Amino acid sequence: MLTEKIKNTFRGCFVWESIKIEKSSIKICICIIGIIISAASIVYVNLLINKLKEREEKWINLYAKTLEYVSNEKEYSQNFTFILQEIIIPNNYIPVILTDEHKIALEYRNIYQLEKITSEREKKNILQRRIENMEQQYKPIKILVVKGKLNQPPQYNYIYYENSYLLKELQYFPYIQIIIILIFGLIMYAGFLYLKKIEENNTWIGLAKETAHQLGTPLSSLIGWLEHLKNDEQFKNSAFVEELEKDIDKLQTITERFSQIGSPVNNFQQENIVNITKEVLEYIEKRIPTDIHLELVTIPTKSLDISALVNKPLYSWVIENVCKNAVESLSGKGFVSIKIIKANHNQVFIEIRDTGRGLMKNEFEKVFEPGYTKKKRGWGLGLTLCKRIIEQYHRGKIFVKESELGKGTTFKIILSEN
């Protein structure tokens, strides 16, 4: 009855598969919308750029024809004044360079790079480089400045030009816009993950406290019945009462563990990892089939003083959960080995290897996800809790080191000595 209540509490709060499907669908939709917005922005800006290019080309052609007209106009007229004021002077945004037939710069407009340069030699070098760059972008416009006479050929000048600074900036606009959208999206996503993490933590705390509360009431009753059996002459000093007392103590430990989830855990101490692990294995060994063998190995060999900074009840819970999962994967027969290694850099490694059914590569991360289980009656929360205990409380790491279908799995835990 109690177990069903706890299961219903977890299942009522988490519909894991539907949440995963909904999350993946939202991510896909956001990506598609982002791609559409980015593509539409680039296409629209490119259309504007093409229109501006056409407009600037027409303006430059008009500018060239105007210069050609002015060059061949012998007398000052009202037309000249109009052309000067309305066409030549207003060109204050398109960079242009007027050269002779040998690409020697005669005049230039809107070359802002030259504004602070006083050296004539340096100006000539800059203008020459700009002429070469402009020639690669657009074909220069040829204008007649002196009409040919009897024995004299006509003289031509050339107008070199490039896109205006406004047009250049506009070309980068969609990419800047995309970067801004990406930055904004990343900030929003980070905020969403932060809020989601807070919500998950609050949910875990609520579930853990509720589970501890649900266990507390029947546990108090069991303790009362145990005391009654101890005082009964028929059951006094019997073996089953002793084992029942151990199981009740175990339930009290479990209740204590659940009550610590979500609460500040401060009682971290230097503990002998070998002794704690041995105690857990001794408890499990009495409750598993005789064809399953447990082994504890230390490196250095026979070293019984490997310590780490841990919370003893929570660390024991992790070892118990991982070992129980290993035992359940053996189907009644097999081998579980726990190797405790004193590593360099003040670290301790605990490797738990079984000869069970193994995992596929894509399950290495999934086994730690809430609700993921292969057991018919499993909750899929054991390894999730282990990960939270090791990585959030102990600042360590737990992961699947290696696994092969039909041959077994090795889990690795990394803890710090201080």
Mean pLDDT of the chain: 79
Q: What is the pLDDT of residues 66-110, one digit of tens each?
A: 777 766 665 544 454 555 455 555 666 788 888 888 888 888 888
State the Cα–Cα distance between residues 405 and 337, nearest whole angstrom. 18
Q: Average pLDDT for residues 161-179, to the nearest whole number?
A: 80
pLDDT at 254: 75
Q: Structure tokens of 316?
A: 């024991």
Taking the complete model, does pTM exceed 0.85, yes or no?
no
* Lowest model confidence (mean pLDDT) among 17-21, 39-43, 59-63, 280-284: 17-21
Distances (CA, A) of 388 to 258, 272, 315, 366, 395: 12, 22, 11, 14, 9
State the Cα–Cα distance between residues 221 and 82, nearest whole angstrom. 106
347 compared with 34, residue with greater pLDDT: 347
The residue among 322, 314, 302, 299 whose CA lies nearest residue 263 is 314
227 compared with 270, residue with greater pLDDT: 270
Q: Structure tokens of 7?
A: 């299961």
Whether 315 and 307 have beta carbons less than 8 Å apart is answered as no
Backbone angles phi, psi at 296, to 5 degrees: -115, 125
Which amino acid belongs to residue 291? D
| DSSP H or E segment with residue 351 | strand 347-354
Tokens 């005049």: give the residue: 107
Most confident range, picked from 6-15, 125-134, 218-227, 232-241: 125-134
Whether the pLDDT of residue 282 is over 80: the answer is yes
Cβ neighbours of residue 280 under 8 Å, at least 6 residues apart?
316, 319, 320, 323
State the Cα–Cα distance between residues 88 and 109, nearest whole angstrom. 10
Q: Structure tokens of 16?
A: 């894991």
Q: What is the pLDDT of residues 342-371, one digit of tens each?
A: 888 789 999 999 999 999 998 999 888 877
Distances (CA, A) of 304 to 21, 249, 301, 360: 48, 26, 9, 35
State the Cα–Cα distance between residues 173 and 26, nearest whole angstrom. 28
